[in-house]
Amino acid sequence: MTAIRTWLSEDPLDVTQVIAEASSIEAGGIGIFIGTVRASASVESNSIKSVVRLDYEAHPTLAIEKLQAAAEAAAAKFELIKIAAVHRTGRCELGEPTVAIACAAAHRGEALDAARFLIDEIKATVPIWKSEVYGDGSAWVGATP
């Protein structure tokens, strides 16, 4: 059985904590994905403006349920030992991590494939809304799923 820990955080993410949560002496590899705030707008917003920060909101109960379900789907699809996944809420500055995923498996291939699968599942299913705030004060709001 895969050990899974998922959570949301209003505080800046500690990437080393996420890796530690997924670490195991049974793992031959840990697949990691770290999403960060970039200065250019997302493809979805179709904007040429520069981003100065992101603001995230999540459904208070459904978001964590869906995050857990996404991790369970990754565990079912890949032979994983441990999974740790956290998504930020609140205000996120340029360069700051907004999502961190670590998937531990006996072999690197499964670990890396699982990390990619899990971030795609999170983006597709977890009710988290992102607001891109631009230098001129305007904003664009979109949903993760």
Q: Decide if 145 is inside a domain.
A: no
Q: Decide if 97 is inside a domain.
A: yes
Range of the domain at 95: 3-137
pLDDT in tens, the chain (145 residues): 899 999 999 999 999 999 999 999 999 999 999 999 999 877 777 778 899 999 999 998 999 999 999 999 999 999 999 999 999 999 999 999 999 999 999 999 999 999 999 999 999 999 999 999 998 888 888 755 4
Integer Cα distance of 111 and 51 in angstroms: 32
Whether this model's pTM surpasses 0.75: yes
Q: Decide if 142 is inside a domain.
A: no
Q: Decide if 144 is inside a domain.
A: no
Q: Decide if 120 is inside a domain.
A: yes
Which pLDDT does position 145 carry in this prediction? Answer: 46
Which pLDDT does position 112 carry in this prediction? Answer: 98
Q: Decide if 57 is inside a domain.
A: yes
Question: CATH no. for residue 21?
Answer: 3.90.1170.40
Q: Token pair 């109960």 is at which residue? A: 61
- Residue 104 near residue 22, CB atoms below 8 Å: yes
Q: Decide if 9 is inside a domain.
A: yes
Q: Decide if 52 is inside a domain.
A: yes
Q: How many domains does the chain have?
A: 1
Task: Name beta bridge partners: 109.
Answer: none
What single-letter amino acid sits at 31?
Answer: G
